[in-house]
């Protein structure tokens, strides 16, 4: 399952170099992942009922092209791979011209709410990788 999220770069997201601050891209990607979970009906409370939370443990991000105030961007999120307790989402940020601005691989772990330790990826989440 792939999702897309559209956004417009705001003035507060620009750094002293006149382009989007690198930390803001992490926020854009997080918003894209939230959209992906929502589209899959895996809201926070749904996962909580399963006794699981997901925790980001690694982000590998490449900054490919500058983005500027007023740019219309699209965050694309799709599943890449799933293991026993972890899974990887691939994400892209493209501009209005379709140019790749950022790509990232995000590794998350399923965590048991009670023990705070890794646990098997729950079936409703695992199915999204088939």
Decide if 15 is catalytic.
yes
Q: Report how far apart, in Å, the C-alpha atoms of 123 and of each of 41, 45, 52, 129 are.
A: 13, 16, 11, 10
67: tokens are: 């983005």
Pick from 29, 50, 27: which is nearest to 127 by CA?
50
How buried is residue 108: exposed, middle or buried, by Cβ count under 10 Å (0-12/13-18/19+)? Answer: buried
Pick from 53, 54, 65, 82: which is nearest to 25 by CA?
65
Q: Output DSSP code: residue 84.
A: S
The active-site residue out of 15, 71, 103, 112 is 15
Q: Which residues are catalytic?
A: 15
């Amino acid at each position: 399952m792939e999702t897309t999220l559209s956004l417009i770069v705001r003035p507060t997201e620009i750094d002293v170099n006149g382009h989007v601050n690198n930390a803001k891209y992490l926020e854009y990607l997080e918003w894209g992942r939230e959209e992906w979970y929502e589209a899959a009906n895996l809201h926070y409370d749904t996962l909580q009922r399963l006794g699981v939370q997901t925790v980001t443990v690694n982000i590998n991000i490449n900054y490919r092209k500058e983005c500027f105030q007023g740019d219309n961007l699209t965050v694309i999120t799709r599943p890449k791979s799933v293991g026993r307790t972890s899974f990887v989402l691939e994400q892209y940020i493209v501009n209005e011209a379709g140019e790749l601005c950022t790509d990232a691989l995000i590794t998350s772990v399923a965590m048991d709410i009670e023990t705070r330790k890794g646990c098997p990826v729950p079936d409703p989440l695992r199915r999204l990788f088939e």
